[in-house]
Amino acid sequence: MSRIPTHTVESAPDASRPLLQKIAQSSPTGRHLNLHAQMAHSPAVLAAYASLRAVTAEHGTLDPKVSWALNLATAATVGNDYMMGIASRFAGMNGWTDAQITALRTGTTTGDAHQAR
């Protein structure tokens, strides 16, 4: 059992509801992740996360395909199964093949010298 509650938009504190709803609406799946649902318990934490996410989206220079490859390789390196699952899904949605996703998860070459090795 988690010490931090996992909220829905309806059960989140009032100050977190619009942020959580906006995160869900901007997600390719139309849903927020459990991580977001737990951050919603503290409106300040969720607001800080949403601000960082907005700044990264506005000023970031990485192509989403590269960004998700880096997310996946990092998650695999630290052994975070939850994040590997999320990053694998988004990597596939951004153009990586199943074989390339496996390569990113195992630290082998993807065969795409321009994106990630």
One domain for residues 54 and 79: no
Q: Evaluate whether residue 69 is within a structural domain.
A: yes
Q: How many domains are contained in the chain?
A: 2
Residue 36, pLDDT > 90, answer yes
Q: Evaluate whether residue 114 is within a structural domain.
A: no
Enter the pTM of the model. Answer: 0.69
Q: Evaluate whether residue 5 is within a structural domain.
A: no
Q: Evaluate whether residue 78 is within a structural domain.
A: yes
One domain for residues 84 and 54: no
Give the structural domain span for 84.
64-106
Residue 112 phi, psi dihedral angles, 5° rounding: -115, 90
Q: Evaluate whether residue 25 is within a structural domain.
A: yes
Distance CA 91, CA 46 (A): 24
Amino acid identity at 77? T
110: enclosing H helix or E strand: none
Of all residues in the chain, the percent with pLDDT exceeding 90 is 68
